[in-house]
Structures are given as structure tokens and as C-alpha cells.
Structure 1
Amino acid sequence: MSSQFIFHCMSGLPRSGSTLLAAILRQNPSVQHAGITSPVLPMIVKISSIMVEGELTTEFNETQRKKLISGIINNYYSNKKAPLIGNIVFDNHRMWCTRLNLLDYIHPHSRVICCVRDPVWIINSFERIIQSDPLLGSRLIPIEHRGTLHERVEALLSSGGAFGYCWKAIREAFYSKFAKKLIIVDYDTLTKRPKETLMRLESILGIKHHIYDLNNIKFNDANKFDENLNTIGLHSVGKHIHSPSRCLTLPPDIVSRLAGCMFWRDPSENRENADIICDT
């Protein structure tokens, strides 16, 4: 399938640096777009369902299906007002980890950057930002589960929760036959050794090297998105990249439950050879 873009994706775990990484990558003149969650994949999935289910399936052949899917990608990004002139697009959606076969079908050479982080600190980060609103109004948590910290954590870890869904999705991708499409970027490695991380990422993707200004990071695209979730600051990015100061607010039983879950740090687990940018 032809495309006017070099198309890559971003996915992985929440609160793990994908917004920060996107904000940095868009400094590279080779990159046309990198941002927060896009509607591209949900649109593809909805259109695909029409083409493969029900009485209309006979109206589409394989060539038509590919052209229609390609059209969603090309038309969406053709209409974006990109400040840069590069031709590399990073489309961000957590669902890409569950659609690696689809991505391989439409863009065989595309890669998926998966940002990951110790689940203890992911849940801790969620809880801190939720508690920053004294009324606990974040729509990340169903209202009936906002009463206690344990209830909120259970909601986040649930099958459809903000963490639980992504955790299942990335494990599905990591152990699939398409795992070679993945580039795992560990949050701690990104924040502690950003220059080395970016150079490795550029090398894997074949992107022309750029000297990034890590003391002048700009990203103001997410305000409306965060307001819609009533979770202000969810995608906030600081001007400077740094390892965050950490204050654990989770009780020991939850920490114990989440500890030891960083499967990407165990070389024996990487059976399908995903690229992993991580300090071991």
C-alpha cells in the first residue's frame, strides 16, 4: 500500500512518557506529527467492521479495503496543520498493540514505540493526579469507584481500566509473532539518559539525527483532551526533561501486588526480539 507518509505508531502503558517522547520527537525536522491519542485507529476499526461483517461484505475486495484504510490515514494527516515539513508521522493510540496484524497488513515496515514503566509508579502517578482534585472528579474512574484509594486502584487495574486494558494489550503484542514491530522505551531510561535513548530510537527507525533541546520542551496540545476527562494535567509536559522526584502514596499491599511486573527487563522473556531501550 502506498502512502505519502512514513507511518509509525506510539502505544504502550499510560503515565510512561509517551507524551514527553512525542513532544521531543516533534523537534526533529523529519517529523511531521507526533501527539496524544488520535482517532485514526478507531476510525479504521469502525470502517473495517463494515467491510467484513453483514450484507455489505461482498461490495469490497482486498484492494478496495487497503485503499479505504490508507485513505483514512492519508486524509487525516493531510489535513493536520503541521508546523514542520517532515514526512514522518507517529500516530498515537493504545489500541495499536492489539492490532499489530492490521498494521503489518497496511504498513509492513511500520514500527510501534511502546513506552513502559514500573506499574507501581504508574498507579502511584494516576493516584497523585486524581487526588490533586479534592472533589475526585476525574472521569478516568467511574463515579461509583471513586470512594477510596483501593476502589480507584481496582478500577484502574480492571479489564477496561486505564491501566488494565493497556497492560493486557502490550503483553499481547510482546508475546505475539509481530513483536519485532515493537520498540520498547523504558520511562526511567528515557528520563535518566534522554540523549542516548533518542539516538538509539533514531537509529532503529532510520531517522536523521537531530540535536534536541531538552531544556525547552513544548507541548500545549492536550488541554482540551484533559479537560474532557476532568483530569487537568494528565498530559502535562515540563519544559525540562528530568527524572521525577518520587513520593509513594500507595499502601504496601498494592505495592506488593504490582511489584516485579516489568517483563520487558527480563531478556529471557523477549522471545520474538522486540527492540528494547532499557537499562537493565
Structure 2
Amino acid sequence: MQPVHFISGLPRSGSTLLAALLRQNPRFHAHMSSPLAGMVDAMLGEMSDRNELAAFITDEQRQRVLHALFASYYGAEFAAGVIFDTSRKWCSRLSVLSEVFPDFKIIACVRHVSWIVDSLERAVQRNALRPSFMFNFQTGSTVYNRAEGVAFGEGIVGYSYNALKDAFYGRHAHHLMLLQYETLVRDPAMAMAAVYDFIGESPFPHDFDNVHFDAGEFDERTGMPGLHAVGRKVVAPERTTVLPPDIFRRFENDAFWLNARANIHGVTVV
């Protein structure tokens, strides 16, 4: 099977834009989140000791089954030389991935958490007539309810934030690179050069003024049209927050990756 790398990290932090740029390289396949992380979890569960027949499954067989799962999913129709699979779950699965793909790399997209919550709230307000999947399609909540909902441990932000810390401070951190959204949109050429260097691939002349990505059908089904929309040109957005000041301040010191003294494994932060 061709080399497999992973895109993960925090939501609303540039993973879709990164995939859209990587797709410009004809050697690469990249897209928005795939179902593979959930499929891996399901297979691990079925091969665990909750299955009384697991006594007949060795770790070598588990490894082969998971590798075959990727090989089957990315079959002959994916002719790319390098695969990038995307899921926020991958940051919490580095131990598993290291058993299946010893040489894998994982690019975790990060962003100041206040602006992530702001971006999610903007998406909710933009689709006021379409209740969101992020809140189980419930109606009548306030911005405070929604901020709490995304930030708690199993929320879309809280889970991915904890998974990112798990990877950053864990023993497999050498597989990890953090790509800041702010860098990607302000200096995309430098950001992409760092990605290529990290994965050991030859540079490619990306077109930052002509980016294409379409996930409109998926976004429509989730009740949030435009959620994964990518602008034609890579630019840094200039805007004020839609969040109340107290909510914005709540998250403004959560960018732990900016603390060089806390980077105990020397993870590359771009």
C-alpha cells in the first residue's frame, strides 16, 4: 500500500483548506474527514476480549486486519502515491497508528480556541433556520449553551483539544507536527513547505489564488450549508468576534502549543 499520513487537530482550524491544497498535487489524495477512524475503533472492539473468540486472534493478526482495512478502503480507484486521511480522532490514536504504519506522520491543525468557538457560532448564526448536527438538531439554545456544548470533554472542541494534548505530550509525539491556522492563511507558501519537509516529499508549486474544494452535499445533510466551504484565494480573514466578551476571554489562553517550555518532546509547531 502507498504511504499513509494523517490530518487531525482542532475543528475550524484549516484542515479542509490543507486538504484542498494537498489535492493540487497529483501524487496526493486528501479530503475532509473519512469514516476510517470509526471503522478502526469498531474493528478493535470486535477483536477485543469482549468477544469470547478473541482468544484466537493474535496482535499480529490485529495489525494485519487494520492494515487491510486501510488498503481496502483506499483501493485501486485511489491511484495517488500518498494518502492523507483526515479525522479529529487520529490524535488520540497514535499508539494504534504506530502499530499499523510505523513511518506515518500526522499534521494537526490548530488555532486559537476563542476563534474556533467564534467560527462555530458564526456557522450556527448563518444557518439560523437549519438546526445543527453539532447540537443534535436541538433548537432554542443560547450562545452560552452552545459554547458550553462544544467545549465540554465530549464536545466537538473539547474532545479534539484533549486528543491533541494526548498526542503532544505522549510518547509518539515524534510523529506529530502542529500547523497553526494563522500561519496557513497568512503565509501558505511557508506552511506548505514545512508540511512537505515534515513528510519527506519533494516540494510542489501550489496555487494559493485558485483553490477548489466542494463538500456542499455533505454540509447540506448536516444542516450547516457552507461549513466546509473554502475560499478561492488563501487569505487571512479580518473580523471582530460574534461572541460575548466573557466567552471569548474564557478560551483566549488555551493555546498551549505556544509555550515553548511545555513542548517537552520538541514537536514542530509551524
Please say whether Structure 1 and Structure 2 have the same fold, judged by a TM-score greater than 0.5: yes
User: Which residue matches 2:185?
Assistant: 191
TM-score normalised according to structure 2 size = 0.96
Q: How does 1:21-100 map to 2 (within 5 A)?
A: 21-31=18-28, 33-53=29-49, 54-78=51-75, 81-82=77-78, 85-100=79-94
Q: Tell me, yes or no, if structure 1 residue 237 matches structure 2 residue 230.
A: yes
1:34-89: CA deviation from partner (whole Å, max 9, x where unpaired): 0111111211111111112220112212222111111100010115x44xx43110
Measure, in 2, the Cα distance between the counterparts of 1:103 and 1:246: 38
Distance 1:140 1:146, change over 3 A: farther
Residue 143 of structure 1 and its aligned partner are, at CA, apart by: 4.4
Instruction: Give the 3 Å change call, closer, same or farther, for CA 146–182 of structure 1 in structure 2.
Output: farther
Q: Report SS of the residue matched to 1:234.
A: coil
> Structure 2 residue aligned with 1:228, among 221, 224, 245?
221
Name the SS of the counterpart of 2:6 in structure 1.
strand
Runs of 5+ unmatched residues, structure 2: none
| Structure 1 residue identity aligned to 2:266 | N
- Whichever residue aligns with residue 73 of structure 1, its letter is F
Instruction: Report the Cα distance in structure 1 between the residues aligned to 2:216 and 2:153, rounded to whole angstroms.
Output: 27
Equivalent residue for 1:168?
Answer: 162
Moved more, 9-18 or 262-271: 262-271
SS at match of 1:23: helix
User: Percent identity among equivalent residues?
Assistant: 34
SS state of the match for residue 212, structure 1? Answer: coil
Q: Which runs of 5+ in 1 are unaligned?
A: none
* Aligned equivalent of 1:152: 146
Map 1:97-116 to 2 at 5 A. 97-116=91-110
Q: Is the 8 A contact 2:5 2:105 kept in 1?
A: yes
Structure 1 Cα separation of the partners of residues 120 and 140 of structure 2: 13
Are residues 51 and 134 of structure 1, via their aligned partners in 2, closer, same or farther at CA, if it must alter by over 3 Å? closer
Q: 1:264 is matched with which residue?
A: 257
Equivalent residue, structure 2, for 1:8 = 5
TM-score where L is the length of structure 1? 0.92
**Does the 8 Å CA contact 2:2/2:83 hold for their aligned counterparts?**
yes
Residues 151 and 145 (structure 1 numbering): CA distance in 2 closer, same or farther, change over 3 Å? farther
What CA distance in whole angstroms lies between the structure 2 residues aligned with 1:63 and 1:96?
21
Kindly report the root-mean-square deviation, in angstroms, between the aligned alpha carbons of the 2 structures: 1.4
Which aligned segments of 4 or more residues in structure 1 are displaced greater than 6 angstroms?
Answer: none
**Alignment-derived partner of residue 241 in structure 2:** 248
Q: Which moved more, 1:36-45 or 1:57-66?
A: 57-66
Say if 1:90 and 1:132 are closer, same or farther in 2 by CA, change over 3 A.
same
Q: How many residues align?
A: 269
CA distance in 1, matches of 2:21, 2:128: 32
Letter in 1 for 2:71: N
